[in-house]
Amino acid sequence: MEFNLQNVIFIRLEKQDEIPYELLLLADPSKEVVDSYLKKSVVFIAKLNEETIGVVVLFSLDNNDVEIKNIAVKPQFQGKGLGSYLINSVLKNLEVKNYRNIFIGTANSSISQLYLYQKLGFKIVEIWKNFFVDNYVEPIYENGIQAKHMIRLKKEI
């Protein structure tokens, strides 16, 4: 069956629902790091029929600022507009509308992610030097580049 975004639903994950670790670990390879923010986050998922095909995790930084800590799409559904749909759905969410700014952080090596976030209106505001070297046990490589620094991007809501 051909994939159609109109058949995708965007819903909040409830406490009793299973946490989609397989997806979360695509965006963040450390389960310890994922668990550290998951407890204090709100999780939304994208569902197609009964299948969870995307996830986005929101973490409140303070009264004004919220952060997308994790966003991931199942590999076979990537590149079909779902990542953009998840971010746009988050921006329309009423709870998120109470914040002024939304942040997202990604590695210097995450080229397509940096492209996507900037295309959706996020602007680079900071670089957290050596974040991935200091906080992850294993070195991370993407696109032939070591993930060393976290590029922080911000969008006004």
Nearer to ligand ACO, 5 or 11 (CB): 5
The reply to whether 60 sits near ligand ACO by the rule CB under 6 A is: no
Nearest of 44, 137, 56, 50 to residue 104 by alpha carbon: 56
> Angle at CA 116, nearest 5°, toward 133 and 13?
80
Residues 47, 52, 55, 60: is their CA dihedral positive or negative? positive
Residues ≥6 apart with Cβ < 8 Å to 61: 67, 103
Q: Tokens for 40, please give them.
A: 């204090």
The reply to whether 89 sits near ligand ACO by the rule CB under 6 A is: no
Site for ligand ACO in 106-135 (CB under 6 A): 106, 110, 112-113, 115-116
Nearer to ligand ACO, 79 or 129 (CB): 79
* Strands 51-60, 65-73: pairing kind: antiparallel
Residues ≥6 apart with Cβ < 8 Å to 23: 52, 54, 55, 72, 73, 74
The reply to whether 48 sits near ligand ACO by the rule CB under 6 A is: no
> Helix, strand, or coil here: 23?
helix
Nearer to ligand ACO, 60 or 81 (CB): 81
The reply to whether 72 sits near ligand ACO by the rule CB under 6 A is: yes
Among 19, 33, 80, 136, binds ligand ACO (CB under 6 A): 80
Nearest residue to the partner ligand ACO, using Cβ: 83
Interface stretch with ligand ACO, choices 2-10, 30-38, 63-71, 95-103 (CB under 6 A):
63-71
Return residues touching ligand ACO (CB under 6 A).
26-27, 68, 70-73, 78-84, 104-106, 110, 112-113, 115-116
